[in-house]
Amino acid sequence: MTAPGLTLFELAGANSELRFSPHCWKTRMALAHKGLEADRVPWRFVDKAKIAFSGQSLVPLLVHGDENISDSWRIALYLEKSFSARPSLFGASSAIPVAHFVNTWADATLLPAIARVILLDIYNCVDAGDRSYLRSSREKYFGMSLEAVVADQPAHLSAFRTALQPLRRMLKKQDFICGEVPAYADYCVFGMFMWARCCSTIELLEDDDTVLPWRERLLDSFGRLARSAPSRQYPDGRPLMTEEGTVGAPNSALSVTSGLDRN
Amino acid sequence: MTAPGLTLFELAGANSELRFSPHCWKTRMALAHKGLEADRVPWRFVDKAKIAFSGQSLVPLLVHGDENISDSWRIALYLEKSFSARPSLFGASSAIPVAHFVNTWADATLLPAIARVILLDIYNCVDAGDRSYLRSSREKYFGMSLEAVVADQPAHLSAFRTALQPLRRMLKKQDFICGEVPAYADYCVFGMFMWARCCSTIELLEDDDTVLPWRERLLDSFGRLARSAPSRQYPDGRPLMTEEGTVGAPNSALSVTSGLDRN
């Protein structure tokens, strides 16, 4: 279902179909939850002029008629209000503040933990024109070179898995953060996994992690929207109709290029 | 307002008025939120026989007529259902699963981080008869002596403050986890702070931390219920009617004794 006038600016890699931003993925899943489609415009860090009309310089940026909404959290609130007759992203207004906490948990805890694992992979995914910006901004943030950030990758991966403990423990009692079916608080966390999936071949989860089936269920939501999206392993997207076991070996030859803390 | 037949078994220290369990504090705040009072029975780790009638060995244990409900999360759900006409602990049923995530975040992230700061203080608060159990169970959990767990206290305090980052960031946008007024998800986290307040003189927060005013507002909720509760600093409770500035110097001479992962 297309709602005329919805345009989403998404961070793209060297391969313009590689849309890897965790925050853009939150919005992508929110749109799907609402049964909405948007014209998805690839955007790169150097393209500040392209979205200057919005009065700011971050993506995701949703344009809806005369409205320009940036910041994935604000976009979710906007979609909830503007498309209130469609499936709710929160369930009830009283659930919104608590979902906001989950969003900040994902951003403040998971995002930096994943960055320490995949930062160099992200660098290798972003467009040539974005590399200088990505390197300088992230090296300033971490206070060291990209190479140094990821130097002890096994330790960082272990720290990330430890940080997942609240989610892991909760998923032993319920299928999704939002209960029996996923909603926005799930997408806030899932966006982080999509970021890694798009940019890196590293598996963040161990085989027996209870977080894994949750992630797999979300990959399959909305007609396998996330699973079929172009990623580093599957630059042309994973075939929608192919069974798991019959998909060919991943093509990891794709040289694509990425971003850390966009909203 | 007293609802006949509500009895709450709470973990107590050497001073039986010192009720320091973080999980019991979640329940205490939940009862206050519902405008309910319970007969509060002090309980110690060695008192397994005292609650054997409930079919399990953990506190908080709420007894309501013929019902025995243990586990603070299950107690919250029970109170919400049984006293549905009173102020809601969650706001709407759709908010319950997300609040559950906040509860597991508090238990899985904050609780062990705080334990690494105050474990020896807890040991010094529990009753003489509980010390052996506390030492052996916690030393088994951490794989080292209580003294070794807290050896690098400044580093553990710093790690705890880092773990608070999601809460800190969220509180810049809203007054409580549950929005404009506190509810159960707030109490899940606040219980952790009450645990530290009751057992230790260490200040977990820096003066300019945005988490601090949130904690202070909760200390003052329900007629300063939490602020006036006996603690290590204020063994007889902090006077209800005294202004902050006029309260005398803390009496930290109290030798009391505590628990880690009760539910």
Q: Indicate the residue of B100, B168, B176 with minimum beta-carbon distance to A174.
A: B100
pLDDT at B129 over 70: yes
**What is A2-82's CATH number, 3.40.30.10, 3.40.640.10, 3.20.20.450, 3.10.20.740?**
3.40.30.10
Top pLDDT among B252 and B4 is at: B4
Classify the C-alpha dihedral A50-A54-A60-A64 as positive or negative.
Answer: negative
pLDDT at B233: 81
Contacts of B90 in chain A (CB under 8 A): 94
Which regions of chain B carry the CATH code 3.40.30.10? 2-82
- Tell me the mean pLDDT in the region B126-147: 96
**Nearest of B123, B114, B262, B127 to residue B202 by alpha carbon:** B114
* Residue stretches of chain A with pLDDT short of 70: 1-4, 238-263
The 10s digit of each residue's pLDDT in B200-210 is 999 999 999 99
B interface mutation test: which of A33, A74, A94, A168 has the most B CBs within 10 A?
A: A94
Inter-chain residue contact A95 with B100, CB threshold 8 Å: no
CA pair distance A222, A218, nearest whole angstrom: 8
List, in sequence order, the alpha helices (H) in chain A: 22-33, 72-82, 96-105, 111-125, 128-142, 146-149, 153-163, 165-171, 184-199, 211-219, 221-224
Pairwise CA distance, residues B215 & B208, whole Å: 13
Q: How far apart, in whole angstroms, are the C-alpha atoms of residue B99 and residue B102?
A: 5
Name the residue in chain A with its Cα closest to that of B175. Answer: A97
Question: From the list B88, B105, B167, which residue is nearest A166 (CB)?
Answer: B105
Averaged over B211-240, what is the pLDDT?
90
**A146-175 pLDDT tens trace:** 999 999 999 999 999 999 999 999 999 999
For residue B157, give how far its alpha carbon lies from the nearest alpha carbon of chain A (Å): 17
To test the contact with chain A by mutation, choose from B101, B162, B173 the residue with the greatest count of A C-beta atoms within 10 A, namely B101
CATH code of domain A93-248: 1.20.1050.10
In B, minimum Cα distance to A184 occurs at: B98
Q: Taking 90 as the threshold, does the pLDDT of residue B212 lie above it?
A: yes
Q: Is A8 helix (H, G, I), strand (E, B) or coil?
A: strand
pLDDT range class, residue B238, cuts 50, 70, 90? low
C-alpha closest to that of B65 among B2, B3, B5: B5
Instruction: Return the pLDDT at A239.
Output: 54
Asked if B101 and A179 come within 8 Å (Cβ–Cβ), the reply is no
Mean pLDDT over residues B61-69, rounded?
96
Judge whether A173 is closer than 8 Å to chain B, CB to CB.
yes
Average pLDDT over residues B86-96: 97
- The 3-class SS string of chain B reads CEEEEEEEEEECCCCCCCCCCHHHHHHHHHHHHCCCEEEEEEECCCCHHHHHHHCCCCCCEEEECCEEEECHHHHHHHHHHHCCCCCCCCCCHHHHHHHHHHHHHHHHHHHHHHHHHHHHHHHCECCHHHHHHHHHHHHHHHCCCHHHHCCCHHHHHHHHHHHCHHHHHHHCCCCECCECCCCHHHHHHHHHHHHHHHHCCCCCCCCCCCHHHHHHHHHCHHHHCCCCCCCCCCCCCCCCCCCHHHCCCCCCCCCCECCCCCC
Contact flag A97-B179 (C-beta cutoff 8 Å) = yes
- Contact with chain B for residue A91, Cβ under 8 A: yes
The shortest CB-CB distance from B165 to any of A93, A108, A168 is to A108
Q: Is B108 close to A179, i.e. CB distance below 8 A?
A: no
Please say if the pLDDT value at position B253 is more than 70.
no
Specify the domain boundaries for CATH 1.20.1050.10 within chain B.
93-248
Torsion (CA) A26, A31, A37, A43 in degrees, nearest 10: -30
- pLDDT value of residue B5: 86
* pTM for this entry: 0.90
pLDDT at A235: 83
Q: Which of residues 98-157 of A touch B (CB under 8 A)?
A: 98-102, 104-105, 107-109
